[in-house]
Structure 1
């Protein structure tokens, strides 16, 4: 049985990270260009968010599990996570704010209409403070509503480092209790964006990731190829069933993405870890790994870009399928370029500055 304790990168998961980012991009393109196109099949690509949440729980636990009770590691942990999320997010947010201002100035109309662009609205967006999704309020970069969940999970996991595993388990247990109470309408938190986010059932997916990471670290994930393929296939079949049911609005119980999509994605992640191999000469896998590296930039820049490109292309093309393909291809490539030319140089600059200041910042 392989020892995962020194594994730095799970290439299979990185490949899927890129695929999930493109799924979300295609979902928004399908929705904005023509939601009837492809019978709305690609719209369900929003479930890529569920994959990201599970993967995030896996990565955080896997990398930081050894720091339980080591309070002096908290600063390094938070700096790693926050530097990975905020700088590039602030850059894209500022760029879109400037673009919106220019459109108002020269075209008479902006594109950001899902949040009030007053001081508090802008501040909340920059801080990733939860917005009221129930009332269709989103951050300046709309897809960044998911990052509010990430920040909350980072903070809660910080308790693991400050205390110990038992206290962390207790806090997670209480957290999941409130998630359940909210899901079954025992409590009503809809008026509070913070509590609505904190008690959202999607938070369960972070715990799925932590459980899978724990199994990996304890060498309890089977390396038997047949078992790995079987688990992967079961996950893919369940994902297909959930996908089709969501398309047809066939629900046999209340909508709960952490069950309908969280379980299939968890099984897929388990299977991919079980089958983890890497051949540096495999060009297809190398390309998918790079796509995974670029997933954050693809994710952040695509939504508003679709809004702009659709306005342009619908005037010169009447074929919705063609517009969809062009937008998806262009923005996937643009996200990869932004990663290579903006995101990575920015992170490298932060690394160099941190080394000069003797601050141990590691960006994963």
Structure 2
């Protein structure tokens, strides 16, 4: 039961189930570092910069974290947050004058993602950073409009949490079925097909599970919030009317 408790508590170290939860607890660490850097009496942007750069500096120096806690605090994922921050700051300061048609943006996303996957053995963890940066840049250089590109990415963004939680399940089922029916060949094709299918399945979960649950929760919360008001303020008004 320990991995399940660690999932709910976002305990920084140890095994978690499902395994994708590890990134949630690292995201919580990022929020903490961000708050310490910018929401205190004195802003300390150097703290966030140091946290993002620390795993790269340790890797360059040939130093490995000595225990799980050090591995959590100085995780290589820190650099991914740093990549996003750098792209955002550069865009905020200099902007991007070029604008490309939607098909070019989609092509950049697909080419960047597939290219990073193909070079994963050479780039290692940097492959994820390269793919993520290209996705960000594609979104920035594509004109923000009511085009299908913009609406499509908005839907993917809204569904990202459902995709994040369910993609491992759909990939596992898809890989099992693929191997049984088609064997172990056509690996690049399998990655593209199964990855796309997992994203689409996550979007369906968002539309038909996540959104209805959120609507139901909001109705329940609104009723529970209105009940004390009707029992207190409403009763007081009715008493004043009788008086």
Give the structure-2-normalised TM-score: 0.66
Question: Partner of 1:344: helix, strand, or coil?
Answer: helix
Distance 1:211 1:307, change over 3 A: closer
Asked if 1:147 corresponds to 2:37, the answer is: no
Distance 1:350 1:196, change over 3 A: farther
State how 1:85-100 maps to structure 2 within 5 Å. none
Q: Is the 8 A contact 2:174 2:194 kept in 1?
A: yes
1:125 is aligned to 7
Distance 1:346 1:182, change over 3 A: farther
Q: Deviations over 1:256-288 (max 9, x none)?
A: 51xx54256425523531333212xx4565345
2:181 is aligned to 318
Question: For 1:179, which of 55, 60, 78 is the aligned residue?
Answer: 55
Q: Is the 8 A contact 1:232 1:267 kept in 2?
A: no
Distance 1:237 1:164, change over 3 A: farther
CA drift of 1:158 comes to 1.8
Distance 1:162 1:344, change over 3 A: same
CA drift of 1:208 comes to 2.3
Partner Cα distance (2:112, 2:193) in 1: 31
Distance 1:283 1:314, change over 3 A: closer
1:198 is aligned to 73
- Provide the aligned C-alpha RMSD in A: 4.2
Asked if 1:159 corresponds to 2:36, the answer is: yes
Partner Cα distance (2:197, 2:105) in 1: 35
Question: For 1:266, which of 129, 133, 138 is the aligned residue?
Answer: 133
Equivalenced residue count is: 218
Q: Is the 8 A contact 2:112 2:134 kept in 1?
A: no
Distance 1:354 1:202, change over 3 A: farther
- Structure 1 or 2, whichever has the larger Rg, is 2
CA drift of 1:237 comes to 7.2
Distance 1:296 1:264, change over 3 A: closer
CA drift of 1:199 comes to 0.6
Question: Partner of 1:166: helix, strand, or coil?
Answer: coil
Partner Cα distance (2:197, 2:110) in 1: 28
CA drift of 1:330 comes to 5.8
Give the structure-1-normalised TM-score: 0.47
Partner Cα distance (1:270, 1:342) in 2: 31
Q: Deviations over 1:116-162 (max 9, x none)?
A: xx3x2221122233445xxxx5x211222222221111111122453
Partner Cα distance (1:222, 1:124) in 2: 42
Distance 1:123 1:245, change over 3 A: same
Q: Is the 8 A contact 1:231 1:267 kept in 2?
A: no
Partner Cα distance (2:50, 2:3) in 1: 31
Q: Is the 8 A contact 2:98 2:141 kept in 1?
A: yes
Q: Which has the higher contact order (CA 8 A, sep 6+)?
A: 1
Question: Partner of 1:142: helix, strand, or coil?
Answer: coil
Where in structure 2 are there 5+ consecutive unaligned residues?
A: 227-243
Partner Cα distance (2:106, 2:204) in 1: 32
